[in-house]
Homo-oligomer: A and B are copies of this chain.
Amino acid sequence: MTQADAAAAPRARFRPPAVPDVEVRGFWGARIDAVASRTADILYQRCVEAGMLEQIDPDRPVPAQSIPFHLDHDFTASTVTTQMFWDSDLGKTIETAAYSLYRRPNPALEAKVDAVIDMYARLQQPDGYLSSWYQRMQPGRRWTNLRDCHELYCAGHLIEGAVAYYQATGKRKLLDVMCRYVDHIISVFGPGGQEGYCGHEEIELALVKLARVTGDERYMALAKTFIDRRGQEPHYFDGEARARGDEPKTFHFKTYEYNQSHEPVRDQDKVVGHAVRAMYLYSGMADIATEYGDDSLRVALDRLWDDLHSKRLYVTGGLGPSADNEGFTADYDLPNESAYAETCAAVGLAFWASRMLGMGPNARYADSMELALYNGAISGLSLDGATFFYENPLESRGDHHRWTWHRCPCCPPNIARLTASIGSYIYGVADDAVAVHLYGDSTARLEVGGHPVRLTQASRYPWDGAVRIEVTVEAPTRFTLHLRIPGWCPQARLAVNGGAVDLAAATRNGYATIERDWQNGDSVTLDLAMPVQRLYANPQVRQDAGRVALRRGPLIYCLEAVDNPVPPSRIRLPRQARFEARFEPDLLGGATVLAGEAEAEAVQDWDGALYRSEPPAAEPVPIRAVPYFAWDNREPGEMQVWLRGG
């Protein structure tokens, strides 16, 4: 669809259901179970092992700093240590625990989280201020370096944790603490206060959540203020640096593109800088665009969306190719083996896309959300929920593996909280409409225009494209059901109570629309064809020239050495090669693999030579591709998403 279409889309606010309102089974159900039964506990335990409780507990002695300012890769040199983000790690850990408690009671974990919350309550200063780093490790320096030090970012993650924990347990303690903190932040940065905003965006989207759960519009207004101010001149970070006695030009990352404050957000038209920051900013912008009906933001967001999706998104939904700035580089620069493609960035893309859907159903956004969720994001979490990727390359020589922890542990709780809250991404609910953005076995208890509506999806998605949705209502209820027809799907069939619907006529912005008085027991069946597809990259992506990727449904596939008779780098896919999709219940927790025939260059006749004039001989080889998200869950070896072939 064009930008004009998007701008003309119906003006409505589609809000996500609360996490406990959707019971998820099937593919995502298994992943949520892994998070609830393993990851949530692991996250808490790793935070403890890192020493975070010593930093936040006011009743213990102030600890020595344990993570140096100067990191191996010279990351912002001497001003940053990942230890200053510990409040955010705990915030996301609390959030993950909260969603996990929806799924499965865990009194032991709940008690530990309560204890952490008690520490924060005791740590909070009388004026409301709350930062374990600035209060305990760097006293006297609060609000002196918003550019580098993540102070408001940490507040944002604690807010998100507080909202989730309140919704999960009904316990208000952390929510009250964070409201007091935000009241303080308003006194500092609100109307008539300092001009500042955070170098790492996050608090904006968190404030929207806080406003929605508390109904306090001041929080929403503060989020808007942070967004409106960003990148205005005179530049806040210049003045702030000078006030510290620093020369603004000494900023390690050289350009304010790094934190998307190089120009006012409404003027931005290229996705630049640190990828996670960008995604979080755009998420907050989308929330504010939705809540305020702000078309000036919406137009900027659509420009940025186009830029990302036409020039800098990996086929897996990963983004941000460079480790140097943890972010974006040149147009069409998408290296595969060295791809940074941080898990948090794909998580952030899911955040952004889901919030664009707040402005109405549009497959342009939902397709991308689904892509990131099923591929570049969930790849960050091992099948057993115990180990994590920070980088998500599309090619490996066999030396890239998930780790148990990281001194910058942002990704583990980020993919965990997203996974555990996936139910809220499946639907969007407006006053007179429900949008189904994602398919999968699940039951949602929604309220549409004040009426309870239960939607039960029965499906083996993503392994099979057949979806049956049963509607349960107490009385006939009129609302519009928007059903996403995925962009990857070449042929879809839709029926209501067995009667075929003319999809071409019913589809707008990639969603089939059914407006009717829904009766109890009505059913909708959707059949989404899932052929194996080949994808080619724009030839301006030099790293993918002459290569092909495989997709089936929402899943991008890869070749792993363990499944194939020769390393993937030696495999070439002829254009006429055909694939059979086969579900293997015992593989990778149950997965559909793609089996086919390809060619490999022979090595037998090289006789020790490294180079020769005669081309290598080709020999036929059977190959097997597995979903990308599941790679590196078995024995290590080469992996490739982009295969040589025409």
The 10 A-B pairs at the shortest CB distance, nearest first, are namely A542-B569, A539-B601, A546-B644, A310-B608, A535-B611, A539-B616, A538-B606, A539-B570, A539-B603, A545-B569
Inter-chain CA distance A333–B398, complex, in Å, is: 12
In chain A, positions 568-585 with a C-beta closer than 8 Å to chain B are 569-570, 572, 575
Known: A542-B570, A569-B542. A536 touches B610 (CB 8 A): no
- On chain B, the residues within 8 Å of A548 by CB distance are 615
Interface residues of A in 554-612 (CB under 8 A from B): 567, 569-570, 572, 575, 600-603, 606, 608-612
Q: How far is the CA of A608 from the CA of B611 in the complex (A)?
A: 39
The answer to whether residues A535 and B612 also contact, given A397-B333, A546-B572 and a CB cut-off of 8 A, is: yes
A340 to chain B, nearest CB (A): 14
- The interface centre, meaning the residue of A397, A542, A543 with most chain B CB atoms within 10 A of its CB, is A542
Number of interface residues of A (CB under 8 A): 49
Query: B610 contacts A541, CB within 8 Å?
Result: yes
With A542-B570, A545-B644, A644-B546 as known contacts, state yes or no: A310 contacts B536, CB within 8 Å.
no
Closest to A569 in B: B542
* Bound complex: CA A505 to CA B206 (Å): 84
Please tell me if the beta carbons of A575 and B615 are within 8 angstroms of each other in the complex: yes
A62-93 to B contact mask, C-beta < 8 Å, 1/0: 00000000001010000000000000000000
User: Does the CB pair A602–B638 fall under 8 Å?
Assistant: no
Contacts of A616 in B (CB 8 A): 536, 539
Q: A542-B569, A546-B572 are in contact. Are A611 and B72 (CB under 8 A)?
A: no
**A646 contacts the other chain (Cβ, under 8 Å)?**
yes
Q: Is A338 an interface residue (CB 8 A)?
A: yes
- A330, closest chain B residue (CB): B397
Chain B residue, CB-CB nearest to A602: B539
Whether A59 is near chain B, meaning CB under 8 Å from some CB there, is no
Query: Nearest chain B CB to A530's CB is how many angstroms away?
Result: 14
State how many angstroms separate the Cβ of A17 from the closest Cβ of chain B: 31
Are A535 and B609 touching (Cβ within 8 A)?
no
- Across the interface, A638 reaches (CB within 8 A) one of B533, B535, B542, B600, namely B542
In the complex, chain B residues whose CB is within 8 Å of the CB of A646: 615
User: Measured between alpha carbons, how far is A311 from B333 in the docked complex, in Å?
Assistant: 30
One of B72, B572, B614 near A74 (C-beta < 8 A): B72
Q: Contact residues of A with B, CB < 8 Å? A: 72, 74, 306, 309-311, 313, 315, 330, 333, 338, 397, 533-543, 545-546, 548-549, 567, 569-570, 572, 575, 600-603, 606, 608-616, 638, 644, 646
CB contacts (< 8 Å) of A338 on chain B: these are 338
Contact B542 A613 (CB under 8 A): no
Contacts of A546 in B (CB 8 A): 546, 572, 644
Q: How many angstroms between the C-alpha atoms of A546 and B569 in the bound complex?
A: 9
Query: Measured between C-beta atoms, what is the minimum distance from A406 to chain B in Å?
Result: 18
With both beta carbons as reference points, the residue of chain B lying nearest to A644 in the complex is identified as: B546
Q: How far apart sit A168 and B110, CA to CA, in the bound complex (Å)?
A: 82
> Are A397 and B542 in touch, CB under 8 angstroms?
yes
CB-based nearest B residue for A315? B611
Which residue of B has the minimal Cβ distance to A613?
B533
Contact of A609 among B533, B538, B570 (CB under 8 A): B538
Q: Are A310 and B74 in contact (CB under 8 A)?
A: no
- From A306, A533, A536, A612, name the one whose CB has the most chain B CB atoms within 10 angstroms: A536
Decide: B309 and A538 in contact? CB cutoff 8 A: no
Tell me the bound Cα distance from A602 to B315 in angstroms.
Answer: 20
Give me 18 other A-B pairs in contact (C-beta within 8 A), A536-B612, A542-B569 excluded.
Answer: A74-B74, A310-B608, A313-B610, A330-B397, A333-B397, A397-B542, A534-B613, A536-B611, A536-B614, A538-B606, A538-B610, A538-B611, A540-B603, A541-B610, A542-B570, A545-B601, A545-B644, A575-B615
How far apart sit A556 and B306, CA to CA, in the bound complex (Å)? Answer: 42
8 Å CB contact of A536 from B330, B569, B615: B615
Which B residues lie within 8 Å of A600 (CB)?
Answer: 539
A52 to B397 Cα, complex, angstroms: 43
